[in-house]
Amino acid sequence: MTTQPTLQWDVFCRVIDNFGDIGVCWRLATQLAGQGQRVRLWVDDASALAWMAPQGCPGVELRDWHAPPPGAQEAPTDVMVEAFGCEIAPEFIASTAYQASVRGRKPVWINLEYLSAERYVERNHRLPSLLSSGPAQGWTRWFFYPGFTAATGGLLREPDLIQRQEAFDVAAWQNAHAHPSLPAPAAAAAAAAGAAVRWMSLFCYEPAALPQWLQLCEAASTPTHLLVAPVRPAHAVRQALGISSKNVLQGTTDKRGQLYISYRTPCPQAVFDEMLWACDLNAVRGEDSLVRGLWAGKALVWHIYPQDDDAHHAKLQAFLDWLQAPASLRQLHHTWNGLDDLPLQWPDDDTLREWTACVQAARARLLMQDNLVAQLLGFVMEKR
């Protein structure tokens, strides 16, 4: 087995909204460090890391976006990763260009793009872009696209992820997090068989179909324990239920018919992952939680980030095509994302099993591909 040399990576991230960008970049940085690499993560708003990654990570150094470039006494840059088109500061580029002229070696410059299942991803993956001006004139910036197929850069995945999932005790987690109002026999049966209570996580924006979904949960024959992520999902649920959202108390609970609601508190990424593993159905959003929902191997519905020109519609359809989603799961996604206003159908146990089998088959396909970090490391070694 070939040992990768230790390189200095500088990863750049601007937090646009919802902390999805920093979530992806933190996972990238920690997984690079886990492979023996040194990482400086430059971010303009690191506040979310206080709860997302309170312990930090050995090998990852956090830098403020506006801090000066590394000095002469610090490790020079071997790899620059510009996440999601965030545009590296000109001062950093100028400093790095000077260091490169002294060293006689340019860093590998990677533009890490957004995740999509659309066909253009395979066409554009690994394409070069020659810089025609500025202090880095003549350098090449490489486009690197995460994706779902072997012709893309793959997805973020820790090497031991599947082993940790297999060792995870779902029953113990559910017992520890059961809603206090759930009848004891139902809670016990759920822990034993996973059928008497349907566990669902909710991480969304403001889906138009949410009020209808909550009504279905209230009236269903099977109780639903809904685990609601903080901030936007919690406000969306309260609004859908006609409750003032000014005082959404994290860590509180509610009960409405067969719907048992737990409002979750902000949590580290590993704790969020465990919640997905423990649920029967996961509502995910954006990019990071979609990937983690796929690795969880449970039924999921994706709330794609809405765009003004409706470009997200084609992106959603491309994902559903790749997923090989059955008709019922496609319909749920269409209504959940506002592509139509058809009435939602409550999934019976057979339907939920079909959705879960679909996600697990997709996960099996993904596991046959190298993960994003492995591909990045190989690409950098190729271009150095």
287 is catalytic: yes
Instruction: Look at the block and give the residue holding tokens 């990852």.
Output: 60
HSE, side-chain direction, 13 A CA sphere, residue 382: 9
Q: Which of 10, 21, 82, 280 is catalytic?
A: 21
Strands, DSSP E only, in the chain? 8-13, 38-43, 60-64, 79-83, 108-112, 128-130, 140-144, 198-202, 224-228, 253-256, 259-263, 281-285, 299-303
45 is catalytic: no
Give backbone dihedrals phi and psi of 15, rounded to 5 degrees, phi first: -85, 110
Q: Which of 78, 113, 273, 287 is catalytic?
A: 287
Sheet strands side by side (includes 253-256): 253-256, 259-263, 224-228, 198-202, 281-285, 299-303
Task: DSSP for 79-116, please give it.
Answer: EEEEETT----HHHHHHHHHHHHHHT-PPEEEEE----
Asked if residue 81 lies in contact with residue 52, where contact means CB atoms within 8 angstroms, the answer is no
Distance CA 115, CA 286 (A): 9
The residues annotated with a catalytic role in the active site are: 21, 287
